[in-house]
Amino acid sequence: MIRVLIVDDSAFMRNTLSSMITSDPEIEVAGIARDGIEAVEKVALLKPDIVTLDVEMPRMDGIEALKQIMAKTPVPVLMVSSLTNEGAQVTLDALDLGAVDFIPKNLSDLSINIVRIKDILISKIKAIGTKGLIRPLKKAIALHPSPPAQSRFSLHRRINVIAIGSSTGGPKALQGILPLLPEGFTVPIVIAQHMPPSFTGPLAERLNQLSKITVKEAEQGETIHKGVAYIAPGRGHMRLIRKKLTETVVSISEDYGKYIYRPSVDALMLSVVECFSGHSLGVVLTGLGNDGTQGMKEIKNKGGRTIAESEQTCVVYGMPKAVADAGAADRVVPLDEIAGEIINSV
């Protein structure tokens, strides 16, 4: 059994989360806490496998509780976040402090999608609670690493674009890659991170502050440029369209179509193949499900290169595993080596 501690000052939220969690026979509620002080005490006492942690609570808020939990008795934490710009900022702060992912606070407003929300919550709890906390990343010292000969790609076609896909654990994983890329990086980067619409802009802003390259939320119709990373807006799917021989532009569609996850990694990568056949690098990072597998297969089949994050550093080894199992990964490496692989591929 995976044991969950629910931390929230709202009786409605405690009951709702408890009902969702206990609907799965492999998960049980180890206990509840009504504020941050109770949370710190009960994590130490009950030793749960995973914690759901609200942000706004009396006596001690979720951020201070998270700091104390990670310092005293580290355990995987899912933040319960409001789907607002302010909520996004606080959630990103929490991810920096050690939280592994988040779930939406506005459960009462999403009754139409309640079954899907429950399925995602249970999937995250089971995947994260079973694995526990991953090892910390190595200190990235060399920004221009020289990997051993066996780690170099055997193909030597010029790479003209890099496409990255990520989900659960992705924001922190992206912080382990983009800030290591050098100023003057010679190709554009396009990124699909599964996130709500209000979160992708703040994520881009935070990554931009940390990076030497420019990182921004992509805009409809803009031309992509080298040395810029474009994060797909959470409101729909991002694709690339070749407008002229030397110009490729961003297209944002809110027609969700056949794709379950938003923004879709597959939709983005398949469009990259159409625009840069044989000259693209695909990277799939930590995340639930198999989004990106089809896109990575096409990148590889058309002569491009592909990298999947290895299990040892994934918060959830779902998307990269699906890619590796499909034979679509040229390289499977830990997160702390991916920036070096990217730099050495362009």
Catalytic residues: 167, 194, 291
| CA nearest neighbour of 176 among 297, 315, 274 | 315
Q: b/e for 47-70, b at 16 or more Cβ within 10 A?
A: ebbbbbbbbebeebbbbbbbbbbb
Taking each helix axis from N to C terminus, what angle separates 62-72 and 85-97, rounded to the nearest 10 degrees? 10
Instruction: Please state, in angstroms and rounded to a whole number, the distance separating the CA atoms of residues 98 and 285.
Output: 18
Answer whether 46's CB lies under 8 Å from 31's CB.
yes
Q: Two tokens at 48?
A: 């749960």
| Greatest Cα pair distance in the chain | 63
As a 3-state breakdown, the chain gives helix, strand, coil percent values, each rounded to 5, of 40, 20, 40
Distance CA 105, CA 91 (A): 11
Can you tell me the distance from the alpha carbon of 294 to that of 37, in angstroms, rounded to the nearest whole number? Answer: 46
How far apart, in whole angstroms, are the C-alpha atoms of residue 254 and residue 237?
A: 6
CA count, 13 A, side-chain hemisphere, 307: 26
Q: Which is it for the CA torsion 123, 124, 125, 127, positive or negative?
A: positive
Closest CA to 117 of 191, 178, 196, 48: 196
Other CB atoms within 10 Å distance of the CB of residue 27:
21
Q: How far is CA 68 from CA 30, 39, 75, 77, in A?
A: 20, 10, 11, 12
